[in-house]
Structure 1
Amino acid sequence: MSTTKIDVQVISSSILSEDVLMLAESAIKQLKIPTQQQIMLQFGSFRQSVSVAPVSRYQGLRMSFALARKMGIENGTTLRLQYRPGSKVLALGPLIGVLVSREFPEQPDKPFGAITMFCRELTDACRKQGAFVYFFTPSAIHTTYRSVEGWIYTTKWHRATVPAPDVVNNRLTTRKLENMPVVQQFLQEIKQRYGASVFNEKFLDKSEVFDALKHDSSVQRYLPESHLLRNYTMLKSMCSRYPVVFLKPVRGSLGKGIIRLSKAGGEGWQASFTTTAGTRRTAYPNLLKFFSAISGKMKTVRYLVQQGLTLIDSGGRPIDFRALVQKNATGKWTITSIVGRTAGSQHYVSNLARGGTLATVRESVAKSNLPAARRGDASSRLSRAAMEIARSVDTFIPAHFGELGIDLAMDTAGRVWLLEVNSKPSKNDNTPLNEGKIRPSVRIMIQYARYLSGF
């Protein structure tokens, strides 16, 4: 359905009635909008009956201050306009709401802390595409679920009452917030009442991902053997097959709490624990002693026990890869970026939070111990794996995802392996964030939101 991008001019309510819109004649002709009769104006969850009056030699949309205030928009806002003749609805949008974990109202220049610059970047990109974005926390949701107290950026950050959005990008960073009744109820209500879309609906557990993808023959070759660690028998069985195994917290992130368990001669085993300061190593005379040492922790932390891999490295520092995979303007998965990540000197995990460094795939492979014969097609093999895994997640996990951070590894034979799938990928793991620069990942997110909302 055709849309047109238009600038909104807000004028005094004493000049223009709240139920009248003044619109460029060219837009009225292009979209076949009826004039001088009642139609329904829609903006997210907002609905109001209006009539449209044509204006010659003018290219924008004029509305009264009273109407603009109800909609939460300001003079100079750029939006897309669409007329749906079947329902006689004049839709403005898309209205995008980004659900974030925390706000810092005492910091007017940085109300979202470290992600404020990303929020600014998203605002700038929306303005260019004719979309409207606001940011809100769980505490900002109104009890009617029709509106929220959103943060909007114009010349500075400010709060405004805005309608529930057409599309929600869930960027909550904790399961506790995500599972709050007010959040779950809000998302359910806006989907049912207003036909809203919500993407990146939920966190992914490591065990959930590996268990689901086992059912897909097209991605099985990427999956290291993995099981939920339930007892000593399971650990002993895995350790009898592999000289190295990893214990990963099912709900961990940023490499926290990962244990590398390796054979240390005779009956002995060495456990390497990730800490903020580096790797702490402890020797155990046998496997049972190690299991006894962690069994107390297992009461509160569920572990995935996973086959250890002989990954490519650079000077003993393991290398892995983060693929950012997103749905695009036609709703199809696409590779936005793949970067190589080399572990810090004191760590065996590559996360930036643990001192890891970023480089291109080509640079990472060139400095690694991967045989020269396997280097040329490394990038295409990683891309193919990321795309196949994203499609598999879509098929086998019952939730709506619009972007995924897929962590891949390559062993010294050149085989690609899946390490983890992250449904809340960091925006700082692809290209560096510079003031005024809009990254492809941000542009694609808005294109997908437009696809979902029909704009």
Structure 2
Amino acid sequence: MIRTKIGISLQGSSIYLEERTIMLSESIVKKWKVPTNQLITLRFGSIKHEVKVIPFPHANSLRMTTTLAEKFGLYQDAQLCFQYKPSTGVMSIGPLLAVMLSRVYASPERPFGAATAFCKEITQACSTFGALVIFITPTDMRGSTTSVNGHVYTGKSWSKKSFPIPNVIYNRLTSRKYENMASVQQFMKEAKARNSTAIFNEKYLNKTEVFSALGKEETLHDYLPESHLFKNYKMLQSMASRHSCLFLKPITGSLGKGIIRIRKEAGGAYVSHSTHVNGVIKQTFPSLTKLFISLTGKLKSQRYQLQQGLDLITVDGGRPVDFRSLVQKGAQGEWTITSIVARIANSQHFVSNLARGGSLSKVKAALAKASLSAGQRASAYTKLRKASLDIAKGIEEQIPNHFGELGIDLAVDTHGKVWLLEVNSKPSKDDNSQLNAETKVRPSIKQVVQYARFLSKF
């Protein structure tokens, strides 16, 4: 694809430059065969404006009045991609990417709290690749089909103003409550229907939905532990008769919260371990019936997925290990593996999440410490990569929503077999960080911007 990147330059109105006139680099005019001294359409996001192009000698630049820039939401030195289509007479700049975030904080320096660093990072990536990113919250989504108020970082400070409806929306809402708000759902629906906006990672996934969907793909069955939406004692009894270890996981849970592990002891008693803010709570029950009775209060307030326990590889004296694979679409619109890291559980926990005191390791380093043969270690690494892509494609095939990145949690058992633990459609931007992050912009952020550019056809 031919791609041209330009810088936006602003100036006040003059006899040479007024609202319906823009100045464009002579080289770009020539390269794209842009007509001059006649009205053509300039498009940015959902907004269109008729303009007359005047060539000028400055390289890779588009100059417009501050008045026109205000209508477009553009600012000095914004870096964008440029294209002109003679068949339609439309000259497009963009893409305009909107990132949906849950809330704004009072701090002018950190308006999005801990997510502010991520916002600055994706802003930098957009400048590098030629795009403009804005950040919007549920309070900004008022149903307008022509504009949206958004926050923008210009490299020096934050500001908030009106922008056209974007070409692409990246859903980073970290609460189902916000995502399911009527105003948010209406905004996304109208942006897609009226402006052909592409929206990716448009919804949360839950564990029941994931395992049910992937179960329809015969080629994925080997990755799936037995897993059911927990309904009653009969189901618990049936699963316990087949598996010595079981897990109960909140179907909408994250960060290892609320997970319960159930094991049968040699004498017939059952032991449960529950994750807690201060560690793990251990309880022993003389029978499965007694254990089930202890769960009834939790089952009334939360739905759980009942899952077969796995005999996972361990390192460093029995600490369980699992693997987080970040699978993303990028410049070509194809699923690729951005990173896979091993997550090692804290000695006081049976879950590996960093929020529970877990630590990161390189995959091959973790596998090297596990009780696997050399052949099993090499095979496990290859299988982890294959499983990551197979599962991402399975989600895309079986769940009718648009996803551009997935956090896929995998495990390797003591025989070297790879299993799926869960799939996260809102993977943490901290959890997936590279172990040797020396660059300012991580590969995962670059992938997001390149995918947005792909979706918008820039």
Report the TM-score when normalising by structure 1.
Answer: 0.97
Letter in 1 for 2:440: K
Shift of 1:91: 0.8
The one of 289, 310, 329 equivalent to 1:327 is 329
RMSD: 1.4
- Residue 441 of structure 1: aligned partner: 444
Residue 273 of structure 2 is matched in structure 1 by 272
* 1:432 positional shift: 5.3
Which segment is superposed worse, 298-307 or 367-376?
Answer: 367-376
Change (3 A) 1:416 1:115: same
Residue identity in the other structure for 2:353: N
Q: 1:58 to 1:267 in 2, by over 3 A?
A: closer
| Structure 2: distance between partners of 1:19 and 1:3 | 25
Match of 2:202 in 1: 201
Correspondence 1:92 to 2:93:
yes
1:55-204 alignment, distance < 5 Å: 55-56=56-57, 58-104=59-105, 106-154=106-154, 155-204=156-205
SS in 2 for 1:5: strand
Aligned counterparts of 1:96 and 1:26: Cα–Cα separation in 2: 27
* Native 8 Å contact 1:117 1:435 kept in 2: no
- State the alpha-carbon separation in 1 of the partners of residues 263 and 456 from structure 2: 51
How high is the sequence identity, in percent, across the aligned residues? Answer: 51
User: Pairwise mapping of residues 174-253 of structure 1 onto structure 2 (< 5 A)?
Assistant: 174-253=175-254
Aligned partner (choices 424, 427, 431) of residue 426 of structure 2: 424
Amino acid corresponding to residue 412 of structure 2 in structure 1: M
Q: How much does 1:58 deviate? A: 4.5
3-state secondary structure, aligned to 1:260:
strand
Aligned to 1:257: 258
CA deviations 1:43-96 (Å, max 9, x no partner) are 111111212122235441110100001111111111111112222211110100
Q: What whole-Å deviation, never above 9, does each CA across 1:306-356 have from its counterpart, x for those lacking one?
A: 111000011111000000000011110000000000001110000000000
CA distance in 2 between counterparts of 1:175 and 1:307 reads 27
Q: Distance in 1 between matches of 2:438 and 2:313?
A: 35
Segments of structure 2 that go 5 or more residues without pairing to the other structure are none
Q: Where does residue 399 of structure 2 map in the other structure?
A: 397
- 3-state DSSP class of the match of 1:204? coil
CA 1:433–1:367 in 2, change beyond 3 Å: closer, same or farther? closer
Q: 1:413 — aligned with what?
A: 415
Amino acid at match of 1:453: S
Q: Count the aligned residue pairs.
A: 454
Residues 389-432 of structure 1, C-alpha deviation per residue, up to 9 Å, x if partnerless? 00000000110000000000000000000000000001112315
Amino acid at match of 2:377: R
Aligned to 2:49: 48
What CA deviation, in whole Å up to 9, does each residue of 1:180-228 have, x standing for no partner? 1111111111111111100001000100000000111121100000011
2:413 & 2:104 partners in 1: Cα distance?
Answer: 42
Q: Which runs of 5+ in 1 are unaligned?
A: none
Alignment of 1:28-47 (within 5 A): 28-47=29-48
Instruction: Point out the more displaced range, 67-76 or 411-420.
Output: 67-76
AA of the residue aligned to 1:61: L
| TM-score (normalizing by structure 2) | 0.96
Q: State the AA in 1 paired with 2:251.
A: V
Kept in 1, the 8 Å contact 2:360–2:435? The answer is no
Distance 1:177 1:40 in 2: 37
